[in-house]
Structure 1
Amino acid sequence: MSGRAARLVTATLMGAAFLAFFDRALLAPMITAAAKELRSPPEAIAHAVTVYVLTYALAQLPWAAVSGRFGQLRTLAVASGLAAAGAVLSACAWDAGSLTVARAVSGAALAAIVPTILVHIGDSMDLSRRAVAAVNLATALSLGMTAGSAAAASLAEWWTWRAAFASSAVIGAVVCLVFAWNGRGGGGAVVGFWRSVPYLVRNVWVWAVLVLAVVEGAVLVGVINFIPVALEADGVAVAVAGFALAAFGIAVVVWSVVVRALVRRLTPWVLLAVGGATAVVAFALLWGVRGVVTATVAVVLLGFAWACAHTQLQTWATDVMTGARPLGMALFALALFGGGVIGSALGADAVARGSYDGLFAAAGLISVAFAVGSALLRRVYRPVEQG
């Protein structure tokens, strides 16, 4: 692969990361608008969010096997193409059921993207450089989430929610074409899928990191999507509520500059503790006094928690999974978004009951468990790879 082609692929990897969270962020701010047009109860549309996260989680392992056999770029081409198809189906949905199926297709397709990028980071960089690379990845993902939330809120308020899914289809098609044009490639030695299983099963640190990923995913992947819905229930306009969540992505991008400096000065366990504690404060604010200003402040704090704690957890996972990264990082994503399913289920229940105080209280307690557990475990962990 020429230098120019390599640079194009590198840029497209970040574009694919952008797409993954752009698409994921679309439906939550549009639940009310979609429910009204499709003549369905809001909780039925909210379940589509849960199904999306569920299929994203369940598709991790199949994609790990596919990428090892057919190559990373071919796999990413197929995945982004399927995601584009799912977005088209979402834009054409005629009821809650068809929307749920379409969202399931997109969720399953986009499951391939982030683990593949993490494997590339783990294979091509030493441990110290991975921490910065993980922050850069978080920036691309957060830009996608910001743009997705803002686009969804704006289009649902002033035009049609269907246009938001159409925009995701366009991005997916472009990413698909670039990856398809560049053929097999992908870097890194192929690691046997089944040969990785015994190593991962016997490694107690693998289990520890996966449990922490479930806990983190419940709040930072699942519950966070229901902040706009909670604001809408209190009478806030759809567009304003959506932009409140969009502040999360903006915050991650801004905080990433700070975190890049912090990773060179603070130890990983301290960063995990600080990030987890920040999430506790954020959900305490949402539980105590809810409003646009309070929600925006809370979301900005959650952006710091993601930029600080999540990137450290990702970096830790790339070290724990050494020698079995394709399957290991797929399991990490499965755990993270499996936790997101739990958080989304809690959110859907809150939508059905029309009460969000219990949701944010539970999220705060879960965040306490993550802050304490991750910091204590990371402090005693000894890295496999130094540097």
Structure 2
Amino acid sequence: MSTVAVPPGPTRPPVPVSLAAFVSSFDRFAISPLIVLVAADLGATLTQALTIASSYFLAYGISQPVWGVLSDRIGRIPLMKATLIAAAAAGVVATFAPTLTILVIARALSGAFYGAIVPTSMTYVGDTVAEAHRQPALTDLMAAIAVGTASATALAGVLAHFADWRIVFAIPAVLAVGCVFGLRRLREPAREEQIGVFSTLQAAVTNRWVLIVISLAFVEGAVVLGVLTLLAPALQSQGVGAAVAGLATAAYGVGVIITSRMVKVLSRRLSMPRLMVIGGAATVIGFAVLTVHLSTLTVIIAALLLGATWSFQHSSLQTWATAVLPRARGTVVALFAGCLFAGSALGTSVGGALGDNDQWTLLFAMTGLVALGLTFTIVISRRTFAGPRNG
């Protein structure tokens, strides 16, 4: 009986790439426990302060096609180094922003520049890791991102409560500069021969499966990342302090770290659609728990379950995105990330409006129903794409 040889090569992302993804994640999620404090300090309403998060997510999302094209044209490592430097500069402006307007602009710029890091690091893994090892490698990358998420939500709340919320924006700016030096040691991976910019975009946006995958990412972004941002404000609306709210939300990162180890083992035994079912079920259960009762304990439970969603469902979608159109991988992954965070901006905006009216139960119930429909659609779509042998 003949066996299929596993292609040689790397089986996990390089440490500097994982560190850059960590910093990007830290910057992105640090805002959640700060929103109420920023609103009070700058004399804004919750809805106005939430524009700090929604503008970040929107800029993160709409910048993705640009980063995807540049990633395919100038290379993964040069792009990450340049955008990390620019993001650090925007972080300095955010640290000293005297008004909400300047803070929103600085955070939007941070989102735009940090938006290059995670999709480009995913693409780097797609370029350097064989498909047989790719989902476990992407899971390792997601674990680094999860550590950034957990560190941000936990540390941001504590620093804001006991010191000053402005310090939180300075930390990733300093770390970003350090990452640039680490990335200098990496070699640019070989890429497939490039076609023109317009042809690359056209190939991506006219491919049926690319459109399906990025549309699913948009809805997932609204359901998971958009509403995740509101967990800390939801707790604070119940009188819970920023430090406790941040620590409770940090359970999301802990959930990703724990369940990402499970995915590495189970991905060898279960098909991708089955992994997606596990992740989708975790989403639905998490929001059902919040619908029944909103408290510190239920937020911790829901955040842990959303971490499982990210490990099982999102890592599967990510892996699918890296393989659906290899000759335009950078562009496809960037479109994927763009739709993910455009959806996040929508979820935060709509959810914030409901939260401003203290309609948290309605928000969580609606999100759970959307998550149920999303899971069904993701699983059916992947089964259709893979065919009966991989179902």
* TM-score category of the 2 structures, normalised to the smaller one: over 0.9
- Displacement of 1:67 in angstroms is 2.6
1:264 aligns with 2:268: yes
- The equivalent position to 2:348 in structure 1, one of 344, 349, 353, is 344
- Displacement of 1:227 in angstroms is 0.4
Contact 2:157 2:247 in 1 (8 A): yes
Unpaired segments ≥5 residues, structure 2: 1-9
- Is 224-233 or 333-342 further displaced after alignment? 333-342
- Is 347-356 or 270-279 further displaced after alignment? 347-356
1:68 aligns with 2:72: yes
- Displacement of 1:87 in angstroms is 1.2
Unpaired segments ≥5 residues, structure 1: 1-5
1:11 aligns with 2:15: yes
Residue 96 of structure 2 corresponds to: 92
- Give the fraction of aligned pairs with identical amino acids, expressed as a percent: 34
Q: Distance in 2 between matches of 1:18 and 1:97?
A: 27
Please tell me the root mean square deviation across aligned C-alpha atoms, in Å: 1.9
Q: Encode CA deviations 1:322-345: one digit per residue, 9 max, x unaligned.
A: 221011111111111111111111
1:44 aligns with 2:13: no
Q: Distance in 1 between matches of 2:192 and 2:270?
A: 32
For 1:376, give the aligned amino acid.
Answer: I
For 2:271, give the aligned amino acid.
Answer: T
Q: Distance in 2 between matches of 1:246 and 1:187?
A: 37
What is the aligned length? Answer: 377
Contact 1:282 1:297 in 2 (8 A): yes
Residue 120 of structure 1 corresponds to: 124
Q: Distance in 1 between matches of 2:267 and 2:224?
A: 21
Q: Distance in 2 between matches of 1:264 and 1:234?
A: 43
- The equivalent position to 1:20 in structure 2, one of 24, 35, 38, is 24
Q: Distance in 2 between matches of 1:226 and 1:33?
A: 14
For 1:50, give the aligned amino acid.
Answer: S
Q: Distance in 2 between matches of 1:282 and 1:262?
A: 21
Q: Encode CA deviations 1:279-330: one digit per residue, 9 max, x unaligned.
A: 0110011111110111101111111111111001111111112221011111
Contact 2:50 2:349 in 1 (8 A): no
Contact 1:80 1:110 in 2 (8 A): yes
Q: Encode CA deviations 1:196-244: one digit per residue, 9 max, x unaligned.
A: 2332233211111111111111111111110010000011111111111
Trace 1:1-387 onto structure 2 (pairs within 5 A).
Answer: 10-179=14-183, 181-182=184-185, 185-189=188-192, 191-192=194-195, 193-382=197-386
TM-score scaled to structure 1, two decimals? 0.93
- Displacement of 1:183 in angstroms is 8.4
Q: Distance in 2 between matches of 1:208 and 1:64?
A: 18
For 1:48, give the aligned amino acid.
Answer: I
Q: Distance in 2 between matches of 1:118 and 1:323?
A: 15
TM-score scaled to structure 2, two decimals? 0.92
- Is 264-273 or 355-364 further displaced after alignment? 355-364
- Displacement of 1:100 in angstroms is 0.3
Q: Aligned pair in 2 of structure 1 residues 48, 128: CA closer, same or farther (>3 Å)? A: same
For 1:238, give the aligned amino acid.
Answer: A
Q: Distance in 1 between matches of 2:134 and 2:271?
A: 14
- Displacement of 1:347 in angstroms is 2.3
Residue 3 of structure 1 corresponds to: none
Q: Distance in 2 between matches of 1:211 and 1:93?
A: 35
Q: Distance in 2 between matches of 1:371 and 1:328?
A: 21
